[in-house]
Amino acid sequence: MKLFNKDDSMAVLDGKKRFNLDKALTITTFILLLIIVIIPVFMIIFNTFFVKATTGHWAFDVSMFKTQLSEPKNLSAMWNTVKIAILTTIVGTIAGVFYAWLLGRSDIPAKGLMKALFNIPYMFPPFLGAMAWDMLLNGRGGYFNKFLMRVFQLESAPININSIWGIVFVEVSYYFPFVFMQVVAALEKMDPTLEECARIAGAKQSTVIWRITLPLTKPAISAGALLILTTSLAHFGVPSIIGYSQGIYTLPTRIYAVIYNAGGSFEGIRQGASLSVLLVAVVSLALIIQNKILSSGSFDIIKGKSTRPTLIKLRGAKYPLLVICIVTLIIIVVVPLVMIVLVSFLKAYGLPLKLENFTFAQYKRVFKGGGTIDSIKNSLFASITAGVVCMLLGTLVAYVVQKIKPKNKGALEFMSMLPYAIPGTVLSIGVILAWQGAVFGINLYNTIWIIIVAYLARYLSFSMKTSSAALLQVSSSLEEAARACGASHTESLADITLPLIRPAMVSGFFLIFLPAMREVTTSILLYGPKTRTLGVQIYGLRDAGMIPQAAALATVAIGIIIVLNTLVNYIVKDRKGV
Amino acid sequence: MADQIILRNVTKIFTTKTLGDITAVDNFNINVHEGECFSFLGPSGCGKSTTLRMIAGFEDLTAGEIELCGKLVSSSEKKLYVPPEERGLGMVFQAFAVWPHMTVFDNVAFPLAIKKVNKVDIKKRVAEALKHTSLSGLEDVYPGELSGGQQQRIALARAIVTNPKVMLLDEPLSNLDPKLRETMRFEIKSLQKKFGFTIIFVTHDQSEAMAISDRMMVCDMGKIMQIDTPENLYNHPNSRFVHNFLGESTFIKVEVKGGKVYPEGSNQALDIEIPKGVQGKMVIATRPNEIELTTPSAGGFKTHIEKRIFLTDRTEYLVPVGNQMVKIQTPHRVRYNAQDECYVKFIMPIWYPEDDEKTEAERNKRQLI
């Protein structure tokens, strides 16, 4: 009788618990997303169009927006943003497709190695590359420019990186892997009989590439191009380092300048907010256009048994093309890296790159003040915290959307993906507006937490995507089987579902941790005197003219990135084996 | 009949990083007659697909040469390889390979458009090809919206639209469900009758090959085992492999001692005629419907029924012969119960030497290429 009672009460409890657990999870998700994502975005729009009148009431007011729109500097910044983004997208896409085809479909030698090398730019912070190129090709005294002037007896610098095209060049060299990786993956998965069929039908190899291969990889190409476009529109580092000296502004650098010049006053932040609205409008427009293009062609090209794709023989062009690949790799990977390392050893910036001018002093100087160590600690703390919280929160959102499926799961999904379309600079302003005491009564300004909150908003969609994909693979029958074996809802969740998606959660963590570790766009607007991040510290040193010190710290940062990446690859590989 | 496709000493060796050289196709000599339906049949890794791809021009040859319609198209010695697009073939692939970014019309019109046929003719010929493949009315649809059977019909229409003399079919039916597979088989045959092309049909499904082919080649592990008509292959398989691959087979290990045949693990002799010169350990091959259950007076091997299995159109019995279990299929009217005493008689078994099977490891290795 006792036993029966126990069973009975358990069944009731379980039934009740299930109802509660699902509901609790859904409500928690909504509240968290509201706080982390929606309120900052809302605050930007609100502060742009509403003003607190002297009476204490908020009044609708478009004057700020109008002033900003009629300011020629802002308009030219907008025009530059669009121009740079479009040029970067076009050149980056062409380069990405070209190298993807070469490494995915031709018989060029050393493919595996080159594929790995072509992915390197993807993990490097572009603003470090911009620093290196500025050292080399600065219009006033870049090392390479000086060299060319000496050799060819020129009056002025032959190449000026401090131009729109210079910015485009640096951005392309870091963003073309977006297209490259997507297209290589598509080419590798593509059913080779689709191409063979066209050969049998009488088409020459070149015809097959134009009429079959390229159209079939169009979805991958557009997806990569979209990523380049939105990233470039929102990008801060490269235009700020390369464009600043020539007064070339983009919207993100303009927003930074406005806020920086205002010294953190509310008026400055409001100006920044209205510029942000402008930037969001531009990005949204780009997204809409791309969406139209993307939706026109998406199809399944992975079918059938996987035979080896027929590699196209390059014959006479093989070695010239190999040389082009190697030169490209040297230019985009080796040259900037070597330059930064060399400059980090210089006694003073501008001295010739000779052994007698080299010293370790810059490294000592960088680490002397303690500010650098603090910045590394800050970056590690902020990235790890953001990574862990995003991993958990992203999985929570994914679980609610994929498994609980509440009525308004579309809204949930939209909320979590929203920051994806919002530039980091803009998000930072939203976070400032939301967390300096105005909304929650909590002032996080000048603390590391405001940076973490911004990271959460910015990177949440990353972990949510990976966890979603993993959860989709976990058939609900697995959890049901656990229930049938007597596990409660909570137990089946903890013992079945979570262990199955754990690898995805771990890779979701690294997907956030690594970019957060090297980012500068978000933290540049949020750092306080004691909360500089690694990126901000390098940027600050350079801004203060201490270029060799900046280079020294950049070398250290690159070292950290390489170590972390190797570690990640090792861990991820290990996981796959299990 | 003239030989339309001739393979002379064709050999293909793949060099792999992990397993070294693997001979995928070992000295193939094949003559396919004009208007014939010729099948390449064998388990995966036997070299059938590689052979087809060499005929199509997608692979070069390590040795030998290929002649198509009286013209040399591949020769390892002369380093001559006519590219696939100039061989004038039709080809249908297992995974359909219809282009998802083109409409049905554009898919079928592609070979003609490449040849710069004028628009009016293209329209006419595509319409005809679609009519023959029962696709009329679907011109403006994208293949993604169609069923697997319809997609395969598009591939067929695209292959016949240029009216090729030779049609290569690479497991074209294996992605379809069984009912559809049979329908398509008939459609392919009737198209062949109408257009008179020669078919090379690659498959690993023996019943499909039996039903469609005039002649077929059975191959295994890169070697041709036997080439003949389906009937001859079934009735006179020249190796244990071919026997096992076509239809259901029963192999019984026996020992021939002093003019008598003893199944392994038994002192009772089987009543079988021994071919000349056969001595020692051998294997006899038979099929479940070629073993009779008889009475003692007819002189069978005395044993008992181990298990009776009712199948819809016949009854199956499991009967021990020595230490081996033998499967017998009979009409329902022959009725025994489990544990009943019975006598079995083998009708015209085929004799093979004891060890004829290649090792499993070698077979697995070949699956990787």
A111 in contact with chain B, both atoms CB, cutoff 8 A: no
Instruction: Please work out, in degrees rounded to the nearest 5, the angle formed at the alpha carbon of residue A172 by the alpha carbons of A125 and A280.
Output: 80
CB pairs under 8 A between A and B: 84
The confidence band for A577, taking pLDDT boundaries of 50, 70 and 90, is very low
What does CATH list as the number for B3-243?
3.40.50.300
pLDDT of res. A1: 39
- A interface mutation test: which of B68, B89, B93, B168 has the most A CBs within 10 A? B93
**Could you give the angle at the alpha carbon of A345 between the alpha carbons of A344 and A350, nearest 5°?**
80
Do B94 and A193 make contact, defined as CB atoms within 8 angstroms?
A: yes
Q: Sorting pLDDT into bands at 50, 70 and 90, what band is A567?
A: confident
Q: Domains for chain A: give ranges and CATH numbers.
A: 1-61+358-578 (1.10.3720.10), 73-344 (1.10.3720.10)
DSSP A249: -
Q: Does the distance separating the beta carbons of B58 and A196 come in below 8 Å? A: yes
Question: What are the φ/ψ torsions at residue A300 (nearest 5 degrees)?
Answer: -90, 115
Domains B3-243 and B250-353 share a fold: no
Nearest to A202 among B58, B97, B114 (CB): B114
Summarize pLDDT for B107-132 with one digit per residue, the tens. Answer: 999 999 988 999 999 999 999 999 98
Q: What is the C-alpha separation between A63 and A78, in angstroms, rounded? A: 19
Q: Residue A17 pLDDT more than 70? A: no
Please give the sequence-ordered ranges of beta strands (E in DSSP) within B234-334, or none if there are none: 250-257, 260-263, 280-286, 291-294, 301-304, 307-311, 314-321, 324-330
Q: Which residues of A touch B90 (CB under 8 A)?
A: 200
Chain A residue with minimum CA distance to B158? A201
DSSP A331: I
Report yes or no: B369 at the A interface, CB cutoff 8 Å. Answer: no
The residue with greater pLDDT, A166 or A266, is A166
Closest CA to B326 of B336, B313, B335, B317: B317
- Per-domain residue ranges of chain B: 3-243, 250-353
Q: Give yes or no for residue B358 having a pLDDT over 70.
A: no
Check A197 against B155: CB less than 8 A apart: yes
Q: What is the pLDDT of residue A6?
A: 39
The DSSP H or E segment spanning B6 is: strand B3-16
Q: What is the 3-state secondary structure (H, E, C) of A259-324?
A: HHHCCCCHHHHHHHHHHHHHHHHHHHHHHHHHHHHHHCCCCCCCCCCCCCCCCECCHHHHHHHHHH
Kindly list the residues from chain A whose CB atom is less than 8 angstroms away from the CB atom of residue B115.
202
| pTM exceeds 0.80, yes or no | no
- The residue with tokens 């191009």 is A225
Residue type, A294: L
Interface mutation vs chain B, best among A197, A212, A299, A311, most B CBs within 10 Å: A197
Please work out, in degrees rounded to the nearest 5, the angle formed at the alpha carbon of residue B188 by the alpha carbons of B182 and B191: 140
Helix (H) / strand (E) containing A182: helix A164-189
Percent of chain B at pLDDT exceeding 90: 46
Helix (H) or strand (E) holding A557, with range, is: helix A547-577
Average pLDDT over residues A463-478: 82
Binned at pLDDT 50, 70 and 90, residue A10 comes out as very low
Q: For Cα atoms B28, B33, B39, give the angle at the middle one, nearest 5 degrees.
A: 60
Tens of pLDDT, residues B63-88: 999 999 999 999 999 989 998 889 98
| Chain B CB within 8 Å of residue A359 CB | no
Residue found by looking up tokens 């706080």 in the block: A35
Do the beta carbons of residue B315 and residue B352 sit within 8 Å? no
SS3 of residue B43 by DSSP: coil
Nearest to B110 among A198, A215, A216 (CB): A198
CATH, domain range B250-353:
2.40.50.140
Q: What is the ipTM of this complex?
A: 0.78
Distance from B305 to chain A by nearest Cα, in Å? Answer: 42
Sheet holding B301-304, edge to edge: B291-294, B341-346, B301-304
